Amino acid sequence: MEPESSASNMVDNTDRVIVEDTLTLMKDATIDIEHIYREGTSLAYYLANHAFGVEGRQQYNTFRELPSQGRKVLNLDKLEVPNLRIKSKIIR
């Protein structure tokens, strides 16, 4: 049996520490963990995709500094306009 690499052990150990710390914090608190579909986090989803399309660091400190598509997403979110996932189906 070959020993695992130290990098692999470090990642596994880091994950274990994070999980243990999280469980410790959760013991003393009332916490609800919920799954939120991508449609419910449209601004975060937009910004994550935007980050892959730009070079270097980007920082937006005001609404006007956001790209126009980002402003649109934020406005729709503030107005609570539903962002629906539509699956297309080919009808033959």
User: pLDDT of the chain along its 92 residues, tens only?
Assistant: 445 555 555 557 888 888 888 888 888 888 787 887 777 788 888 888 888 888 888 889 999 999 999 999 999 988 988 877 777 777 77
Can you give the pLDDT at residue 32? 80
Coil, helix or strand at residue 63: helix
Residue type for 23, please?
L
Q: The pTM is what?
A: 0.51
d(CA 41, CA 65): 20
Can you give the pLDDT at residue 6? 55
